Structure 1
Amino acid sequence: MPKKPQFSIPPIFTTTQPTNSKCRTTPFTTLIQNPKTSSTSLNFTFLNHLKNQRLDSARAVFNKIPSPHVSLYTRMLLAYAHNHNLPEAINLFNQIPSNTKDIISWNSIIKASILCGDFITAVKLFDKMPHRNSISWTTIIHGFLSVGRVVDAERFFRAMPSADKDVATWNAMVDGYCNNGRVNDALRLFSQMPCRDVISWTSIIAGLDRNGKSSQALVFLKDMVGCSGVEISSTTLVCGLSAAAKISGFNAGIQIHCCMFKFGYCCGFDQFVSASLVTFYAGCNRMDNAFKVFGEIVCKNVVVWTALLTGYGLNEKHVEALEVFGDMMRFCVVPNESSFTSALNSCVGLEDLEKGRVIHAVVVKMGLEKGVYVGNSLVVMYSKCGYIGDALCVFNGIGEKNVVSWNSVVVGCAQHGCGLWALALFKQMLMEGVESDEITLTGLLSACSRSGMLQKARCIFGYFGRKRSMKLTIEHYACMVDVLSRCGEVEEAEALAMSMPVEANSMVWLVLLSACRKHSNLGVAERAAKRIFEMEPDCSAAYVLLSNLYASSRRWSEVARIRMKMKHNGVVKQPGSSWITLKGLKHEFLSADRSHPLAEKIYEKLEWLGVKLKELGYVPDQQFALHDVEIEQTEEMLSYHSERLAIVFGLLSTVEGSTITVMKNLRVCGDCHNAIKLMAKIVDREIVVRDSSRFHHFKNGICSCGDYW
């Protein structure tokens, strides 16, 4: 049945004159003189202004309406509330004649107070109501639950007359409990409900899924399907798909997919259902199925496109994700914030700054650069691609920053060794009243670790340790162990690792072992390695670190013993590799790699750089060769480390004077670090190297880390 238009054209506008008249319509002057006609026209104009959110114009017209109906008062005061102008809403409510104030107007002004966050006024109005219905109670209960005031909501729910407690009120409490993390209370209340509808079941299924109980959510969905008299909605099934995706319940998801056909929710036409199916199959690592569902959709909107785009990104198929984003643009599908966020995440996955900048330009063109979600993704993209300055510029332009915004820029500064910037941002964060969390502490401790700020780290660790709202995790202790050991307090770091409230895992001991080489503390290193081997006998990183420590001490027999043990246990060392991304293509190099098409030119350029390095006084550091071989062989091995090959390829393949950014899977060795500082000076370029620990910005013979990493 076709829907009626919201506002019907008054019949007076089509009134015809008698047949003997030449004029077929009523003269305009007659319409103005007709009070009934004038009132109807004003009503129409008033509602039209409200629909287009022209409040001042709407109020001006409203003031001209003779004896406006109470429903018009209600529409006007709710419009004020949605624009957070509660004083005007209350003033208008007080102007409603007492004999015409109905329960709808009372409920509306209470809702207006809640929308504006004034619960004191809402409760006062609620108490003044001459009589209440279930909507009155549900409105104020839902309002308290929406801002986390569960205790107040419970108080009103208990005070509510049993006769007024309809299914909507019970649903509001169940949903509110779930939204505030009180799942057990939601389950208890759900079991006590005198009757349940589809919203009741959907609320508990979605609530369980949101609170990490996806398996239990599927059990409830199964119970609902077997429950007679309750019609299953598409929303319910979508919630079930979400739960199935989170636990990789492929079989359960297939059954839900079948239910969608059984209950008549045609996936090819229902975009909401289609998008959830694409997301489900992507979450179960079945991108072929996800793409098949996508192809069957008759009319694809931005939500469906974004589901496919995000799915490819979650499955590490970043090239395909960006191709989907490009297709969206070609088919004139306007991306939303989620689309841009997913596309930028794929740029991070590919470490492709060029594509990231192109997407940033589209963001600016659409006026979304100040949005918090897109802004946060841009901050992460620039910082992880080596451009912390650009990340800070984007951060400063974000309109309403949330804790993720602050964490993203603090962690970014930490990765680039900008410890003082990170601390300054944290101070600003506190001044603006933003509540810090576990990620903030991790970022701050990492910043202190990479900048050698031991005392600052002690203060920060103590400050967060005293916060009741946060519990220190094993990652935080690992960061503090890292700070202490890097700053030379190796024994104190070992003591902290042993006295942690939870048993230190291999990550904590690896951090300590890694720092022992710099400070030549073989005793602590051997004890840390022993702990690691007890937990992870096949940990290749521990073998390599201990072997390197023995090698730097020239204890070649111990090096041989460690390598024999690795061979006996089948432990394989992760090969060091470096790569550079140019024009969307990733060029990867191993140590002494000669497989690249430009290998001959790369080695010629390396030889030329080697001569220039020696002219500047560079001498290879033998302790980083880590092999018991002759000096000539040692120098050759150091000269052909993977990061040097990648840098030289960058020099040959980019415009003179441009910045070269190289990524490495392991820590850059000390000898290469010294050589790259001089290389940057020789070629007069900035060279950025990101290793497994941090970013190094080499320029004019200096590194941003201050030789501390």
Structure 2
Amino acid sequence: MKRLPAPISNRRPSLSHLKRLSLHGPSTTRHKNFPPSAASKSDSKEGSSHWKAILSHLLRNNEIDEARHVFSKISSPDAHLYTMMITGYARIKRIDEAFRIFTEMPTRDVASWNSMIKACLDCGDLHLAGKLFDEMPERNVISWTTIMNGLAQVGQIDAAEGLFWRMPQRDTAAWNSMISGYSSNGRVTDARLLFEKMPCPNVISWTAMIGGYDQNGESDEALHLFEQMWALGIKPTSSTYACVLTACANVADLGLGTQLHAHLSKVGYLSDTFVSTSLLTLYANCKHIENSSKLFHENGDRNLVSWTALITAYGLNGRHEDALDEFNRMILSGIRPNQSTFTSALNSCCGLESLDQGKKIHGNVIKLGLDSDVFVGNSLIVLYSKCGDIDNSLMVFNNMRRRNLVSWNSIIVGCAQNGYALWALKLFDDMKSSLEQPDEITYVGLLTACSHSRMIASGKQIFQQLKEDPLVDVKLEHYACMVDVLGRCGNLEEAEDFISSMPMKPNVAVWLALLSACRMHTNLKVARRASQKIFDLDPYNSAAYVLLSNIYASAGKWNDVSQTRVMMRSRGIVKIPGYSWITLKDSRHEFVCGDRSHPMTTEIYKKLDWLGGKLKEYGYVYDRRFALHDVDDEQKEVVLTYHSEKLAIAFALLSTVQGSTIRIMKNLRVCGDCHSSIKVISRIVGREIVLRDSSRFHHFRDGLCSCGDYW
């Protein structure tokens, strides 16, 4: 027989002990609509209904202090009125006052005890809920189910399981509650076993099990269970359909989703918010965003849930401008965003690299008091980090009251990408002190920080910690990072030996890390070996051909450059063109080398000519090694002058306020000449220039770069 856990507390506390909690007295505020004369009503059944209507109105509008004033005027309130007040206080998390009302009750029946226990759980006070449960003179099935739910919600699933099996009797609601508890705590197999043991499962039981499978990543099994339910003739509810559509969305089963859409239109469930929202998400996940938009606009009831789903759908499909347009329309319509809405909107700002819009949304987050929300905070950290504003990213992180693994990973990776390696390592120490367990992403961020800052000893130490961490699997990505750490420091032979000693077969990413390091140090010998390994694995890898060609060009091996390019053409491999862009006033401006298509081309080239003159005054000499074409020196200088990042900087100087930070993005690695010249430009114009290339962020200030000329 299964051993049952001990009661929630071994000693049953007395109510006198519980009364010693800090309590607040009732409000003396008088509500203008309910004068004292209202208290003259008799306490008959008619009078009780009268008071119920008044209190219901006040509590529905969260006027709790007015309700308390009215309640104090009732000479003999019945248990139901007491319960209404307890629930009202619990809704706004004022558990002390809810408990005061409870202790004032002349007599308490099981229903009142149950209400108080639920109030404690709603306010997150599991300890007090447990004490009250132990103190109850008698319990019914609702009492047991309520406390069991509370335990499951805070992850104490073993304790909840023990209570379930100790229950003197179990109704269907108790079985359903335990199934949901198992599922929400990742024990979907136990949920299914319990479901199979149920004497009389109902549609709620089936729905809980379908939803449980889907929430635990087993959406195919959820759909299979729905088929069984349908075959048995059990009529689904709107909640069932919402769960099934969510499962369809997660596996991108457009066929079944379309069939359900047609059926739901016939049975009239499309008006249900959760059904229509789940259907909207299904179409978005299946890349049918126009259907999502159509469904939203055809539904007259546009509420927070449906609007948030549409904003999220646009973001998932890369239509970030549309997502932010809908977000703004929602605000103008008077609907207040919640955490999910803000998170989706911030993710779209991140997709557009629109720091200005992100800051505006951050302002709204603060106004609505949601800046302490962990999910919103995580999105803000990522936004600021990806836009090169690491100081604000750190500010958001430091101000968060609660953090999760995503919070720590986001700030560590952000610091790594922005060249704040020492901060990344310090944050890792803080993370361990807070007892947060690192995962694979944490170690990728730390190794990236070490590789970008020439911290080879720290990189080796981090990698050793990773190998000794029993809860994290060492993956190929970690090996590629370690090769990068060794290679960037110039230890190319050691990096090659490291690859040879790997316990798993290296993939293209590992060899590309070595080849990229050869590009930095112009090591032809190792580069040839590394590139051959890549071509053996992937003969059509364009990045390897481009890197190899650039290494040959830097070494002046123009015949090898020509042969490499001929090989690329023969295999139909096309080099990805380099381009840079800047986002200003929600508009993105893109530039390629020698670009003359921009409306401000004349002004841009004039500004570049001015910068060229200033660079010469400062003694700058173009580094012709980075003009990767076999032409004379004068032509090489022309090519270098009009690289895409320089065009973007010239445009930014013409289009932004003097003294403001210039933020440029580039799809490829910034060349050495551009890097050197931008350092001088930052000194010439007296402005910070933040450049994000394919490798990392570069913060140029006063003639220096945050990367220390090491990238």
State the alpha-carbon separation in 2 of the partners of residues 587 and 324 from structure 1: 23
Aligned to 1:325: 327
* Structure 1: tracts of 5 or more residues without a match: 1-26
The DSSP-based 3-state class of the residue aligned with 2:463 is helix
Paired residue type of 1:245: A
Of 27, 31, 43, which aligns to 2:40? Answer: 31
Q: CA deviation at 1:439?
A: 3.0
- CA deviations 1:541-600 (Å, max 9, x no partner) are 011112222222333333233222212211111111111222222221111222333333
Q: CA deviation at 1:514?
A: 0.9
Aligned to 1:459: 461
State, as a whole percentage, how many aligned pairs show the same letter.
53
Task: Map 1:290-689 to 2 at 5 A.
Answer: 290-689=292-691
Q: TM-score, normalised by structure 1?
A: 0.85
Aligned to 2:268: 264
Of 196, 200, 206, which aligns to 2:201? Answer: 196
Quick check: 1:513–1:529 contact (8 Å CA) kept in 2? yes
The DSSP-based 3-state class of the residue aligned with 2:329 is helix
Instruction: Say how many residue pairs are matched.
Output: 676
Of the structure 1 ranges 101-110 and 527-536, higher mean CA displacement relative to structure 2 is found in 101-110
Q: TM-score, normalised by structure 2?
A: 0.85
State the alpha-carbon separation in 2 of the partners of residues 635 and 152 from structure 1: 74
Q: CA deviation at 1:233?
A: 1.1
Q: CA deviation at 1:155?
A: 3.2
Quick check: 2:354–2:583 contact (8 Å CA) kept in 1? yes
Quick check: 2:39–2:74 contact (8 Å CA) kept in 1? no
The DSSP-based 3-state class of the residue aligned with 2:556 is coil
Aligned to 2:175: 170
Quick check: 2:79–2:105 contact (8 Å CA) kept in 1? yes
Paired residue type of 1:292: K
Q: CA deviation at 1:286?
A: 1.2
Verify: 1:134 aligned to 2:137, yes or no: no
The DSSP-based 3-state class of the residue aligned with 2:687 is coil
Aligned to 1:3: none
- CA deviations 1:443-479 (Å, max 9, x no partner) are 2222222222223333333344434443333333332
Of the structure 1 ranges 644-653 and 126-135, higher mean CA displacement relative to structure 2 is found in 126-135
Verify: 1:251 aligned to 2:255, yes or no: yes
Pair 258,605 (structure 1): closer, same or farther in 2 beyond 3 Å: same
State the alpha-carbon separation in 2 of the partners of residues 90 and 582 from structure 1: 55
Of 277, 291, 302, which aligns to 1:289? Answer: 291
Of the structure 1 ranges 109-118 and 631-640, higher mean CA displacement relative to structure 2 is found in 109-118
Quick check: 1:39–1:66 contact (8 Å CA) kept in 2? no
Paired residue type of 2:345: A
State the alpha-carbon separation in 1 of the partners of residues 69 and 660 from structure 2: 61
Pair 491,369 (structure 1): closer, same or farther in 2 beyond 3 Å: same
State the alpha-carbon separation in 2 of the partners of residues 532 and 83 from structure 1: 61
State the alpha-carbon separation in 2 of the partners of residues 220 and 38 from structure 1: 50
Aligned to 1:17: none
Quick check: 2:39–2:73 contact (8 Å CA) kept in 1? no
Pair 113,588 (structure 1): closer, same or farther in 2 beyond 3 Å: closer
State the alpha-carbon separation in 2 of the partners of residues 37 and 211 from structure 1: 50
Quick check: 2:58–2:67 contact (8 Å CA) kept in 1? yes
Paired residue type of 1:258: A
Paired residue type of 2:568: M
Pair 36,181 (structure 1): closer, same or farther in 2 beyond 3 Å: closer
Paired residue type of 1:244: C
Paired residue type of 2:189: N
Quick check: 1:271–1:297 contact (8 Å CA) kept in 2? no
Verify: 1:186 aligned to 2:177, yes or no: no
The DSSP-based 3-state class of the residue aligned with 1:305 is helix
Of the structure 1 ranges 406-415 and 106-115, higher mean CA displacement relative to structure 2 is found in 106-115
The DSSP-based 3-state class of the residue aligned with 1:304 is helix
State the alpha-carbon separation in 2 of the partners of residues 52 and 176 from structure 1: 32
The DSSP-based 3-state class of the residue aligned with 1:308 is helix
The DSSP-based 3-state class of the residue aligned with 1:617 is coil
State the alpha-carbon separation in 2 of the partners of residues 340 and 672 from structure 1: 37
Pair 254,484 (structure 1): closer, same or farther in 2 beyond 3 Å: same
Q: CA deviation at 1:185?
A: 2.3
- CA deviations 1:386-406 (Å, max 9, x no partner) are 222233333344443443333
* Structure 2: tracts of 5 or more residues without a match: 1-35
Aligned to 1:11: none
Pair 659,131 (structure 1): closer, same or farther in 2 beyond 3 Å: closer
- CA deviations 1:90-135 (Å, max 9, x no partner) are 89878877xx554435545655665676767766765676654433
Quick check: 1:39–1:65 contact (8 Å CA) kept in 2? no
State the alpha-carbon separation in 2 of the partners of residues 657 and 65 from structure 1: 67
Aligned to 1:156: 163
Paired residue type of 2:215: R
Q: CA deviation at 1:87?
A: 8.5
Pair 491,35 (structure 1): closer, same or farther in 2 beyond 3 Å: same
- CA deviations 1:632-656 (Å, max 9, x no partner) are 2322222222111221222233333
Q: CA deviation at 1:58?
A: 7.9
Verify: 1:217 aligned to 2:222, yes or no: yes
Task: Map 1:48-87 to 2 at 5 A.
Answer: none
The DSSP-based 3-state class of the residue aligned with 1:400 is coil
State the alpha-carbon separation in 2 of the partners of residues 306 and 369 from structure 1: 18
Pair 576,46 (structure 1): closer, same or farther in 2 beyond 3 Å: closer
Pair 84,587 (structure 1): closer, same or farther in 2 beyond 3 Å: closer
Aligned to 1:231: 235
Q: CA deviation at 1:691?
A: 0.4
Quick check: 2:43–2:75 contact (8 Å CA) kept in 1? no
State the alpha-carbon separation in 1 of the partners of residues 59 and 336 from structure 2: 27
Pair 35,233 (structure 1): closer, same or farther in 2 beyond 3 Å: closer
State the alpha-carbon separation in 1 of the partners of residues 682 and 332 from structure 2: 41
State the alpha-carbon separation in 1 of the partners of residues 204 and 681 from structure 2: 66
State the alpha-carbon separation in 2 of the partners of residues 281 and 469 from structure 1: 37
Quick check: 1:240–1:256 contact (8 Å CA) kept in 2? no
Q: CA deviation at 1:415?
A: 1.7
- RMSD in angstroms over aligned alpha carbons? 3.5
Pair 77,472 (structure 1): closer, same or farther in 2 beyond 3 Å: farther
Quick check: 2:614–2:684 contact (8 Å CA) kept in 1? yes
- CA deviations 1:472-499 (Å, max 9, x no partner) are 3333333233222222333343344444
The DSSP-based 3-state class of the residue aligned with 2:647 is helix
The DSSP-based 3-state class of the residue aligned with 1:697 is strand
Quick check: 1:31–1:38 contact (8 Å CA) kept in 2? no
State the alpha-carbon separation in 2 of the partners of residues 29 and 497 from structure 1: 85
Quick check: 1:481–1:508 contact (8 Å CA) kept in 2? yes
Aligned to 2:150: 143
The DSSP-based 3-state class of the residue aligned with 2:142 is helix
Of the structure 1 ranges 339-348 and 36-45, higher mean CA displacement relative to structure 2 is found in 36-45
Paired residue type of 2:198: M
Aligned to 1:13: none
The DSSP-based 3-state class of the residue aligned with 1:696 is strand
Of the structure 1 ranges 629-638 and 50-59, higher mean CA displacement relative to structure 2 is found in 50-59
Quick check: 1:448–1:454 contact (8 Å CA) kept in 2? yes
